[in-house]
Chain A
Amino acid sequence: MKILKKKRITRFKEALIQTFFMTNATLAVMILVGIFILLAWSAIPAFKEINFVKFMTGVNWDPTSPVKEEYGILSMVVSTFMVTFGALVIAIPIGIGVAAYLSDVAHPRTREIIKPVIELLAGIPSVVVGFLGIVLFGPLIAHLFHLPNGLNALNGSVLLAIMALPTIISISEDSLKAVPRSYQEASLALGASRWETLVRIKIPAALSGIIASIMLGMGRAIGETMTVLMATGNAPAFPHGFLSSIRTMTATIAIELGEVPYYTTHYYALFGVGLVLFIITFLVNLSADLILHRYQEREQ
């Protein structure tokens, strides 16, 4: 009798715990959907007054202009992609190189020290990275390229590369490690050198993991705000190259949302920018997820 009762209580407890965790899981999904709806809801009124095509393709953004208010986001979209692209160009070779070194070359003891240190890099607050951009990389870039100042897209790219590196290195290294040992042994047994084994066998085998890590790093770079706000100069003009000052979508929202009068076109337009940004990061993260998923399926 007693045992039976105990069993029933256990079963009840199990059900309770299960419901609890399911609620949590659903909550996360609901929050995501809620944010999307809220963004869309707040962005839609903007298009009563702004032509959608002009919004997406306009180069000038000057909502407080005394002459003519303009809401074109193309310059900031291009700026965002520019710093992100620049960051990836810097971070991918370094990231994969370090990951390969850690998984294949480094002494296990070295790896045990270096890997946690790299992962700690991810914990540096973005304000601190931005500050580095102002006092260290900015003057350095200005000096190297003979510019009057270093507040430009290149500076932002370097900083975002630093911020994306921990993600790229950590996940790439994990996926290199996950390549079955038999691949490596077979390659070496056929007479391939360690370098050939790494480049021709291991990296292609781990490619989906590496690509996913890059996509995740990219997602972080696109959404990063404080660092680019501090280091890129925030000039809303259409960028002419990596050495011109730029203002990204995130920086525009951060700068202007604090002062904008509520429920005005400007306010709704900023949510429109947020919506575009959300869709971009969503697509990037989704593709990273799909690639990772395929990779895991193949592993099984």
Chain B
Amino acid sequence: MKIKNFILVVLVGLGLILPGQIKADQKMLQVKGSDTMVNLVNVLVEEFMERNPKVQLAILGGGSGTGIAALINGTCDIANHSRPIKEKELMMAQERGLRIRTFIIAIDGLSVIVNAHNPVEKLTLSQIGAIFRGEITNWKEVGGQDLPITLYGRQSNSGTYVFFQEHVLGNKNYSPKMNRMNGNAQIVEAVSRDKSGIGYVGVGYVVNEKGEVFSGLKVLKVSNSLDEMAYSPLNKKDVEDGLYPIVRPLFQSTIGKPTGLIRKFIEFEIGPEGQEIVSREGFFPIGKKQQELNAKNLEN
């Protein structure tokens, strides 16, 4: 009985102390949005917090649309998004008298992945588009085995879903047979188990820390047309030179001109230290043009 009482007292005591401690700290900054960017921003935040020990940042996924909606609704401080902000969303912000500022923090090569047992090595952009629109349904039509294609894509709240639809599907509908997966990791998992699978994920999700492609996966080379060279998103130089066709900027947005901690964090991300982390995580550093754009948005 006595021991029980003691445990009870300790538990109650902890319950009283813990919330107090959290309160005592500074306000926590919320970063929310793109699932593609969660891992990258997580590492950026960790390194930033190591340099600024008193700072607290929390990162959440949910998809680009979710992040932008949260930014407009005032429930997060920075929105991660892997697609540009839509006209509709800008209008919504304007209605509430908010001005959104957008920064580009990294470049992402979107990789098209298949199972390691699939003999297909490369596809053209239009072939990939036709596959995901459901027009090509068997691997033999693109030089593979006689095997029906199983499609793995993201859900419609994903920036990757929208980007891929616009840039690869030619703004047409996805095949209704595409399996809508919850995140990049799930697509990687599914394709590595499925011999007939094809999927698209951020390039940061197909390689481990050492830069090797995960077992069971193959990253396809992509070309603009049949008689052009096909390039792999794993080859950094090809992506940075703009030869790999499926690339997109990764954005962060704030309400109004960033100040204080938010500004410090964004400056860290787009600075040399942050960009080194970006390439270490399998993404690509931003070029001169984007740097200038960022600088402009940080000022005036």
Contacts and interface: CB of A to CB of B under 8 A. Distances in A.
A151 B181 CA distance: 11
A274 B190 CA distance: 29
Interface of B: 62-63, 65-66, 69, 88-89, 92, 147-148, 150-151, 155-157, 162, 165-166, 171-182, 189-190, 193-197
A149 B155 contact: no
Contact of A149 (B165, B171, B194): B194
A151 B190 contact: yes
A139 B189 CA distance: 12
9 contacts: A66-B166, A139-B193, A149-B190, A149-B196, A235-B176, A255-B155, A255-B157, A259-B62, A259-B65
Interface string A61-102: 011111100000001000000000000000000000000000
Contacts of A75: 176
B88 A66 contact: no
A66 B147 contact: no
Contacts of A63: 156
Across chains A and B, which 6 residue pairs bring their CB atoms closest together, nearest first?
A: A259-B157, A237-B176, A148-B196, A259-B65, A234-B180, A233-B179
Contacts, number: 80
Contact of A62 (B62, B89, B173): B173
Secondary structure call for the A interface: loop
B171 A235 contact: no
Contacts of B194: 148-149
Nearest to B179: A233
Contact of B176 (A62, A255, A261): A62
Given A151-B190, A234-B179, 20 more contacts: A62-B174, A63-B156, A64-B156, A65-B173, A66-B171, A148-B196, A149-B197, A229-B182, A233-B180, A234-B155, A234-B181, A237-B176, A247-B180, A256-B155, A258-B157, A259-B62, A259-B156, A259-B157, A261-B69, A261-B88
A134 B171 CA distance: 32
Interface string A218-240: 00000000000110011111100
A255 B180 contact: yes
Nearest to A232: B179
A144 to B, nearest CB: 15
A149 B173 contact: no
Contact of B173 (A67, A235, A259): A67
A245 interface: yes
Interface residues of A, number: 28
Interface in A235-283: 235-238, 245, 247, 255-256, 258-259, 261
Contacts of A66: 165-166, 171-173
Given A148-B147, A149-B150, A259-B157, A245 B196 contact: no
A207 B144 CA distance: 56
Contacts of B89: 261
A184 interface: no
A176 B89 CA distance: 59
A148 B176 contact: no
Interface in A141-173: 148-149, 151
Nearest to A152: B179
B215 to A, nearest CB: 16
A241 to B, nearest CB: 13
B165 A258 contact: no
B178 A235 contact: yes
